[in-house]
Amino acid sequence: DLGFAFGYSYYPGEDVNLSGSTGSPRAKEPFGEIATSALRFGIQGSWRVTPRINLAGWGGYIDAEAEAGAREGDNADLWTWMASVSFLDLGKEGAIFSVAGGMPPKLTDVDGGDEDDDTSFLIEAQYKYPITDNILITPGAYVILNPNHDDGNDDIWVGTIRTTFSF
């Protein structure tokens, strides 16, 4: 499976959030609180290598432009990506073990400003396990290395457990 995406967005100066709050503060507002437009491009793919192994990934690029004030016409580039491998029916029919890794939105170039110097990485693992036809339990863990694209920040480790009830 292969997919492509394109989008255009405009943010008034007080509401700029290019990264959906998942990247660094610089990626969120590369020009500060200045009206910003963004052309968004994405590609994603998924390949069932065997009946029990699936590879997937996606990448995204944002071409942002300051639309007001002294920064009007300045441009910024943001990139993000993720890749995963999933093992289907592992241990039980309907169970899925997945490992994924990627880079949260990163400001790689900006006119008249500072880009993110370092690179964050997110690595996660989860195991979706069906207890019954209506109950799914998903333990998992992830780590964010160099949070906010700053190698001076401590790594963040998180363990999770989610239970899903379907009716």
Domain-wise residue ranges, the chain: 2-165
Q: Which residue has the tokens 């709050």?
A: 21
Segments in 17-93 forming alpha helices (H): 25-28
Q: Which residues of 10-25 are buried (b: 16+ CB within 10 A; e: fewer)?
A: ebebeebebbeeebbe
Q: What is the pLDDT of residue 8?
A: 97
Tens digits of residue pLDDT in 110-140 = 998 899 999 999 999 999 999 999 999 999 9
Q: What is the pLDDT of residue 14?
A: 84
Tens digits of residue pLDDT in 20-55 = 888 899 999 999 999 999 999 999 999 999 999 999
Tens digits of residue pLDDT in 59-94 = 999 999 999 989 999 999 999 999 999 999 999 999
Q: What is the pLDDT of residue 20?
A: 87
Tens digits of residue pLDDT in 91-115 = 999 999 999 999 999 999 999 889 9
Q: What is each CA distance from 1 to 7, 45, 78, in whole angstroms?
A: 20, 5, 25
